Amino acid sequence: MKYIFIGLSLLLAIVRADNECWSQTYALKEYYPCCKDQTQPVYKIESQIKFGKENGVKCTLGPYVPDFVDRERFDDTREEWNAFKIKWDNEIRDNFKQISVFSGDNESMLNFGWYSTEDTKPVIRFGTQEDMSDAKEFTGNVEYYKNLLIGSRKYSIYSNQVTVSGLERNNTYYYQRYIDGKWEKSVKFVTRDPDNFNFIFVGDPQIGGSHGKPNFLDMSKELTNDEATRNDAFNWERTMNKAFELKSNNPPSLLLSAGDQADDEKLQDYLDETQFSALLQPAVLKGIPHAMTVGNHEQYNENFRHHFNTPNSFTEIERSDREVIPGFNYFFRFNNVLVVVLDTNEPSTYDYSHTMKNAVTKYPDTTWRIVMFHHDLFGIGRTHSQGTYIVNKLRPILNPLLAKYKVDLVINGHDHYYSTSHFVSFDGVNYDISEISENKTFNNPKGILYITANCATGSKLNPRNDAKVDYIYHSNQTYTATFGIIDFEKDIEKQVNRITINYYDVESLDVTDGSYIIEKDLDYVREEEPEPECWAEEFGYECCLFSSMVSYVDDKGRYWDFQNGNWCGVTNKPMIINKSKIPYKPNKCWSLERGIQCCPSSIKSTSYINDGVYGVVNENNGIGFRYCGIQLPVISDIEPNNNTPVSQESTCWANDYGYDCCGPEIVKGNYIDNDGIWYQNDSYWCGLVTYNKNDIEIVNDQCWPDNKFKCCSPVNDQCWPGEYECCSPGTKVEYTDEEALWGVENDISIKPLNI
């Protein structure tokens, strides 16, 4: 009877959508009337909905056509879908211990990761027998991550990581995980032919992304977060199963996902974890390694890097002071393919160039180089592709870097709209294109092929941008779930290595784009660009590994960039050059002349370059910020224009915070913090070298600026009563509270300063 009831509900919904004015009860945005004249010309199409106009008012034409994959609409999967709903409630939603089988450093290794609620040594058994009789145990690391509230119960969550090595190609293995005090059932894992294999690639599974879409069973209601996550979880599992069905004769060896695996970006931790549970639950993913990148929806917490055990992670990042570090750039080799994965939510020339350099240094001889990151560098989706973040921030960094390391293929997502570029090359200033076409073989073409994958679950499907661009060869929006396949083949007869790329509709398995065929001769050797000599070493600086922009041009016309808290000489041809004339004042704050303080030493990167080189200091717990000037490099063959001796040595404590110490003309300070006593006016800060009771000046009987602290009251130059002694004159301030200034003597205790 339950099945019949659901069927009747669907029938009523379909009849209502076709014969009644569905848009008057439509759950999204505005309500629209249905056009009285349904035969009139289409005025506009938005998300597949056709609009007309009557008496100047928009009205809908035809039945409702959804812009996402709503599983309730599919009769051919009705039985599976109903069974999945039960499984979702009972087995999947709250199973936060799903295992991740990540790619290892190379094809002979696997990186496992999972959550547990116990602080025990993680162990994986790995062997060739299903009964695990020949298994070897591999142990790893465990760390406490967070507390997670499930219902009314709070769980301690631990992140576990184990690396397994010694895998050989064309072999069958089994593995087991030890968790909750017992060994799980063994899982089969098969390695494939290293000369004939394939990868699945997808964009934005974004499980949960259909939340807020109209409920097909009742158009006046929206899908809840849980309903949407369940819907998209089923579609994700179906996408994976259909990919394996398509390649049943030669099953995939690796899954590449270009970010936004989960949808939640509102810091709803439980919801976000249900979406990761959905991501990892398909059975086929237990038998294939995957590699994923951080999407913009995953940048707000650290769930990504605690679920996934990424190989060769670049952890010495430029912005290590970030409150949240969701994941790292990393790389691995798989057979004759080098894969580099970048996080494009926090653009850093330093991080990207070091990751790329590390990758090609460790694996210089792979035939193919693939780079994957979330934001579509050469896409054509309406939502993001032409935005200033991509065009003005990411392209100047990534275009020359990808060209320098002769990348073959870039896989992106982000826009939920599919596109394939021509081959895009870069000369250091501008990009150029070499035309591509389907079903034609290109031997070692000039330039990079960029593919922007569509949404793998169909949870969000967006339209095309109207911009006229020359780099797009093909684009489409099928309004279905989709995936891509890259076939790698070593053709001995023709003496070439070949990749063939196709893109597929999940339900029909029809090709929606492709084939794109690229070949390289078996004896192909990539000619790397030689590293230029480092002229900056003459002045005691390193040269930038790579720079996308020039932050400073010195008086001799040399190019400098500021990376990871240090100046470095630019030796490559940069895309952006800051030619502003900045007063050359080594060890002095040039920006004070413009009313802006200089940056403390904790600032590692530039944030703004116009009339100078600026960083950003966060204030009010990251809610606000202010610009600060980055001090210039000390260059011995340039005369300073402030009559200050050029020296990199300084005994001034304020230099550690990007400031100078006060000259002899300033004898009293008017501001104090935990670092020391300062003198401040509207455009200048300096630190007092020593402290004593006369160093603080009370202005107009008021305390220091902003009344940040109470002022101390000297009592006949005596120490006030209390359990602490007073410090000797000249003791450095170590701590300030509302009662006093405090210092330390003989490393014994904190004592109030007698001022």
489-503, 529-543, 646-660 — which one is most confidently predicted on average? Answer: 489-503
pLDDT tens, 177-193? 999 999 999 999 999 99
- For residues 700 and 664, the model is more confident at 664
Measured CA distances, 745 to 20, 690, 751 (Å): 84, 15, 8
pLDDT of residue 624: 66
pLDDT at 214: 86
Contact 453, 415 (CB under 8 A): no
Tokens found for residue 467: 């911009």
Per the model's pLDDT, the better-predicted residue between 555 and 650 turns out to be 555
Region of poorest pLDDT, from 3-7, 420-424, 612-616, 656-660: 3-7
* DSSP secondary structure, 6-64, as one string: HHHHHHHHHHHHHHS-GGGS-SSSS--PBPS-TTSPP-EEETTEEEEEETTEEEEESS-
**pLDDT at position 626:** 81
Domain 90-107+191-521: assigned CATH number: 3.60.21.10
Tell me the pLDDT band of 733, cut-offs 50, 70 and 90. low
Tell the residue number behind the tokens 């290293």, with chain if given: 194
- Digit-coded pLDDT (tens) for 456-485: 999 999 999 999 999 999 999 999 999 999
**Which of 175-179, 314-318, 375-379, 641-645 is the least confident region?**
641-645
Q: Where are the domains of the chain?
A: 2-65, 90-107+191-521, 535-649
Amino acid (1-letter code) at residue 639: E
Which distant-in-sequence residues (6+ apart) come within 8 Å of 347 by Cβ?
393, 394, 397
- The string of pLDDT tens digits covering residues 233-257 is 999 999 999 999 999 999 999 999 9
243: left (phi > 0), else alpha (psi -120 to 50), else beta? alpha
Quote the pLDDT of residue 634: 86
Q: What is the pLDDT of residues 106-164, one digit of tens each?
A: 999 999 999 999 999 999 999 999 999 999 999 999 999 999 999 889 999 999 999 99
Per-residue pLDDT for 67 more than 60? yes
Beta strands in 540-612 (DSSP E): 549-550, 552-553, 559-563, 566-569, 576-577, 608-609
The whole-angstrom distance between residue 80's C-alpha and the CA centroid of its chain comes to 34
Instruction: Provide the token pair at 259.
Output: 């970010």
687/653 Cα distance (integer angstroms): 8
> Tell me, what's the pLDDT at 748?
42
Spatial separation of the C-alpha atoms in residues 718 and 66, rounded to whole Å? 80
Reported confidence tier of residue 416, pLDDT bands at 50, 70, 90: very high
- Core vs surface per residue 3-38: b (16+ CB within 10 A) or e: eeeeeeebeebeebbeeebbbeebeeeeebebbeee
How many C-beta atoms lie closer than 10 Å to residue 651's C-beta?
Answer: 7
Residue 181 near residue 116, CB atoms below 8 Å: no
Q: For residue 617, give Cα distances in angstroms to 71, 599, 606, 614.
A: 48, 7, 11, 10
Q: What is the mean pLDDT of residues 537-563?
A: 89
Q: Distance (Å, rounded) from C-alpha 131 to C-alpha 540?
A: 62
H-helix segments, 127-268 = 225-246
In the DSSP assignment, the letter for residue 572 is S
Q: Is the pLDDT of residue 740 over 60?
A: no
pLDDT digits (tens, 9 = 90+) for 81-104: 999 999 999 999 999 999 999 999
pLDDT of 755 > 50? The answer is: no
Average pLDDT for 355-360: 97
Per-residue pLDDT, 28: 59
Q: How confident is the model at residue 647 (pLDDT cuts 50, 70, 90)?
A: very low
**623: pLDDT confidence band, cut at 50, 70 and 90?**
low
Kind and range of the H or E run holding 404: helix 395-404
Once rounded to an integer, what is the mean pLDDT over residues 192-216?
95
Q: What average pLDDT does the segment 607-614 reach?
A: 76
- Residue 50's Cβ-count burial label (10 Å; 0-12, 13-18, 19+) is middle
Q: What pLDDT score was predicted for residue 738?
A: 43
Q: What is the mean pLDDT of residues 387-393?
A: 90
Q: What is the mean pLDDT of residues 530-553?
A: 89
Q: How many CB atoms lie within 10 A of CB 199?
A: 23
Tell me the average pLDDT across 555-573.
89
